Amino acid sequence: MAKAVRKVLAGTGVLVLLGGGLFVTKVRSGLAQLPSGPDKVIRFRENLDSTEAFRKLEEAKIIRDAGALGWYAKYKRTSSRVRRGSYRLHPGMTADEVLNALKLPVVLKVRLRENEWASRAAKRLESEGVCKAKDYMALVNDPAAFASSVSFPLPKTSLEGYLFPDTYNFAPEMDPREVIETQLKTFEKKVWDGLNQPKNLDHIVNVAAMVELEASRKDERGLVAGIIENRLAKGMKLQIDATVLYAKQVWKDPTGREVRETVSPYNTYKVAGLPPTPICSPSMESLRAAASPTKSDFLYYVGLPNETSLFAKTYEEHLVNVKKMIAARKAAQK
């Protein structure tokens, strides 16, 4: 009968419809609040007609009757469209509260930092309510799933290093695939196109990730990138602490014992050449440094507490710099 009433009265105007006793009773009943319940995130993956959006809210048991809310929305002259995005609602909301909640999707502004490896970013995304860390990491380790999403060549085993660090507007409880696609498309625009689509992209990203974690000062990153290239050219092991930390997935100064005993292809004290994958998400400064490393005869560097570095051409000079570094650390602790 409700369908027949709506069909007959469809052209008579909402105010007239709301004036009919039986119809008013039905609408009021349909607008009655459900028992209060916990928040739910309702995600619309595309712009929807409000009728379809209300139907989804009824299915999610946020509202009692989609048709009743549709008539009330017309009476209130609210938008007939609901924007794609995520909305936080809960059972027990009034009709006005539901309509207000649907005016703007919920946005989570999340800063994914330079120098973080993917597992640390995954924990941040979970803590911010964007997606589950384990689901995100499962996709990070499946680059083939994104082969059609971007135009640049993806690595084969892991997206580590290609998940561009930036401040993003995400939604609550997003599909992690959408999160990663957003990061990859940002990488495509800023790195792939920004560096004129380099043929040695994988090499640049790998070196840049080490530079990011090893060089605190932006003006020293080119020198550090150059030292990495010098050591690779001479067949020297890179001996970079940050690769050992990545192997152990901890962030602290490694002890000599950890360096000696950590068995991993990422331990560049033991294994020659580049690590199997990048070890973090590098910044544009580090990527530019890796793409155009500073030429020098330096083969060694050591960091000081004030975030500057000392550079050396020979191992003997490096040992002198190490002593200076130890003295500087002791002085800083006093």
pLDDT tens digit string along 122-150? 999 999 999 999 999 999 999 999 999 99
Best CA proximity match to 115, nearest among 227, 211, 249: 211
CATH number at residue 22: 3.30.1490.480
Q: Is residue 118 part of a domain?
A: yes
CB-based burial of residue 164 (10 Å sphere; 0-12 exposed, 13-18 middle, 19+ buried)?
A: buried
The model's pLDDT over 278-301, given as tens digits with 9 standing for 90+, comes to: 999 999 999 999 999 999 999 999
Q: Are the CB atoms for 68 and 27 separated by under 8 Å?
A: yes
- Average pLDDT along the chain, 334 residues, taken 10 residues at a time: 40 46 77 91 90 94 92 89 91 94 92 94 95 97 96 96 96 93 97 96 98 94 98 97 90 77 93 96 97 97 92 96 92 84
Residues 94 and 7 in one domain: yes
Dihedral of the alpha carbons of 245, 251, 253, 255, in degrees to the nearest 10? -50
Residues 26 and 69 in one domain: yes
Residues 11 and 88 in one domain: yes
94 is in which domain, residue-wise?
2-101
Give the domain-ending residue among 52, 84, 101.
Answer: 101
What distance in Å separates the CA atoms of residue 223 and residue 202, rounded to the nearest whole number?
20
Residues 217 and 141 in one domain: no
Helix (H) / strand (E) element for 229: namely helix 221-234
Residues 76 and 57 in one domain: yes
Q: Is residue 311 part of a domain?
A: no
Count the Cβ atoms, other than its own, within 10 Å of residue 231: 20
Number of domains in the chain: 3
